[in-house]
Structure 1
Amino acid sequence: MKKKILFVVSSTHVIGPNQRRTGNLLPEVAHPYEVFKKEGYEIDVYSVKGGEAPIEMVEPEDPVNQAFLKGDGPEKFKNSGSIEEVSTDKYDAVFVPGGLAPVADLPDNPTVQKILSTMYENGKVVSAVCHGPVCLINVRLNDGSYLIKGKKVTGFSITEEFDYARGDVPFELEDALKERGADYSCITPWKAYSITDGRLVTGQNPASAQGVAQRVVTILES
């Protein structure tokens, strides 16, 4: 039976006091999507509001991004389902891409939290990259503990944010992860870095997106 991957993505077009244009970052969408597609996995896209989930077009000339843009992925993002309609038992793993958009509408969304906690409690793989791990900071398990407490995680670093969008985000992801008790680590800015802790997979930045997907595949195929 084919594995099924759930993409949970942002519906946000703008963020911050200056209304910076944003979306789900293309490389962080396309590279994992193509990894999963190559494995023959089925992929469904659900966004906070349903309907069009914006893609921020960074590096469209990249060959993997091009493959995604010429395939069925963009149509799924244009006509995404609503997260209120997700049946978690259908999926083997959930993946959350970054871009600034998730910072605006994922951290405090109770439906997102329920999807992630339910999938994790039921033995599924939970994964996110770059700013995507903002989805994890308020997720609690059935015993009341934070999902990421004591877990090895990474995500967009303070150093990277300083040179990218410090004035547009309401908090530092690195700090938020640490405050929830996560064992946070990162490497040189903008270099690929992804880590696995059990069934939790996270990546630091756009360069890490493919590595996150490959780690998810490794778990699902083991």
Structure 2
Amino acid sequence: MSTRVLHVVTNVGHYDDPAHPTGLWLSELTHAWQVFEDHGFSQDLVSPAGGRSPLEPRSLKLPNCDRSTRAWQASSERTALLEHTASPEEIDPVRYDAIFFTGGHAVMYDFPDSEGLQRITREIFERGGIVSSVCHGYCGLLNTRLSDGSHLLAGRRMTGFSWREEELAKVAELVPYNAEEEARRRGALYEKARLPFVSHTVTDGTLVTGQNPGSAKATARRVAALL
């Protein structure tokens, strides 16, 4: 059987105020997808509700878009994948060796309280599989508990989009909570790069996390190396 990776994407298209759109930060998916594809891994997409995953408009503009995002948008086969993602109920965790939570501010709304995603993550992690996230993807790990009731993040080194980066991105007043602070509250040993927006990844056993959009390739490469 080939190695299988499950990517998690959002279903949310705006902040609390519908006048401010958001969604999946496309390069965080495309960069990781390319790394895993180069390794010959099989890949699937899941979202909290299943169905369409809207794109963050800012991720489609320079300098955030690149060859990989343009190629994805130009492919009817690839764009269809984001129109028809699986729901957690359709996913059998036993089939996957790793789960990769993508980001975009939208995930702050629908990732944390998805019991389906928590189930999948817990089962993969407790089987010795890889749990990984990039940027805001770690919001999908905030409320995930292991079978003993402990938070998956408790006592583990990790990273993700920092509060300073929220401020510099000028969205601190739009986001529903401070994800960095919430991770620390759950006992995570949160780390970040000395400078904002530079690539930074942290590996703690089978937990692999990347800080920001520019960390997607490095995070996926670490996952691939472990696999």
TM-score (ref. length: structure 2): 0.92
Runs of 4+ in 1 over 4 A off after TM superposition: none
Alignment partner for residue 201 of structure 1, among 195, 208, 221? 208
* Code of the aligned partner of 1:131: H
Q: Which residue of 1 aligns with 2:172?
A: 166
Distance 1:17 1:54 in 2: 16
Check the 8 A contact 1:8/1:83 in 2, yes or no: no
Contact 1:33–1:68 (Cα < 8 Å) also in 2: no
Q: What SS does the aligned partner of 2:203 have?
A: strand
Deviation at 1:19, TM superposition (A): 4.2
**Alignment match of 2:72 (pick from 68, 78, 89):** 68
- Partner SS for 2:82: helix
Q: CA–CA distance in 2 between the matches of 1:83 and 1:17?
A: 27
Tell me the distance in 2 between the aligned counterparts of 1:128 and 1:186.
Answer: 14
Q: Which amino acid aligns with 1:216?
A: V
Amino acid at match of 2:145: R
Q: Which runs of 5+ in 2 are unaligned?
A: none
Write the distance in 2 (CA, Å) between the matches of 1:48 and 1:137: 15
Check whether the contact 1:98–1:131 (CA below 8 A) recurs between aligned residues.
yes
1:219 maps to what in 2?
A: 226
CA contact (8 A) 1:34 1:68 kept: no
2:3 partner letter:
K
Tell me the distance in 2 between the aligned counterparts of 1:161 and 1:19: 19
- Which whole-Å CA distance do the structure 1 matches of 2:54 and 2:166 have between them? 21
Could you tell me which of 129, 134, 159 is aligned with 2:134? 129
Percent identical pairs in the alignment equals: 37
The AA in structure 1 aligned to 2:125 is: Y
Would the aligned equivalents of 1:153 and 1:201 in 2 still touch at CA under 8 Å? yes
Equivalent pairs counted in the alignment come to 220
Q: Point out the structure with the larger strand share.
A: 1
